[in-house]
Amino acid sequence: MWFKKKEKIVDLVKGKKIFFEENGNGWSIVRERWDYSDCNVPKDVEEVWTREIMNRVLINIDEESNYNELVFLFSALGELRVSKDIVVNHIIKYFSCNTLDTFTTILLCEILKRKKKYAAEKCVDKIDKAVKYYKEIMINSPITVDESHLNAKHLATYDFSEKNIRLRIEEL
């Protein structure tokens, strides 16, 4: 018996809508959007969309003044299917061009550390040096917390005491 191979129908309109709604986050798409696989989007198209999202996120990072939102943008960048070295390099570049409060610095250092296991060898050394450098600065500086973190609903119950923040610095 001969079976006719079913042709895959590609639905780029629906696929792009889903892909962008989930900000290109592959885990979120697989977990939350089972209908995405029915769109049969080619990998090369996903790569173009990922670069488009990455460019948008990088522009937003450069323009963002709310540090709480900034941390979310760097997290979103880290969830894209891009080289983790790109994320690492942008965080390190951002550190060098901006004066940040202690809490934002902690959060960005934690993102760096999470990316360490996926980064290329040369970036692992950059991560270690950057985290060590900023940890030393934070240990020897007064604790500062940007208002955007203090007013963030998801941090309403967070303990922003100096003791707790210093403990978090030590854990870096």
Of the listed ranges 39-48, 74-83, 96-105, the one predicted with least confidence: 74-83
Task: Give the tens place of pLDDT for each residue, 18-42.
Answer: 999 998 988 889 899 989 999 999 9
pLDDT at residue 62, as a whole number: 86
Alpha-carbon dihedral angle through residues 143, 148, 154, 155, given to the nearest 10 degrees: 20
pLDDT tens digits, 144-155: 999 999 999 999
Confidence of residue 5 (pLDDT cuts 50, 70, 90): low
pLDDT digits (tens, 9 = 90+) for 96-155: 888 899 999 999 999 999 888 877 888 899 999 999 999 999 999 999 999 999 999 999
In the numeric block, which tokens belong to residue 123?
A: 């970036």
Q: Can you say how many angstroms the Cα of residue 34 is from the centroid of all Cα atoms in its chain?
A: 23
Interatomic CA distance for residues 9 and 7, integer angstroms? 6
Placement of tokens 């309109």 in the chain: 13
- The helix-helix angle for 84-97 and 102-115 (nearest 10°) equals 160
**Structure confidence at residue 1 as a pLDDT band (50, 70, 90):** low
Is residue 121 left, alpha or beta, with left meaning phi > 0 and alpha meaning psi from -120 to 50?
Answer: alpha
Q: Which residue has the tokens 């006719």?
A: 4
Tokens at 115, concatenated: 């990316």
CA-to-CA separations, 122 to 53, 87, 95, in angstroms, rounded: 25, 14, 18
The helix/strand/coil state of 23 is coil
- Residue linked to tokens 């209908």: 35
pTM for the whole structure: 0.79
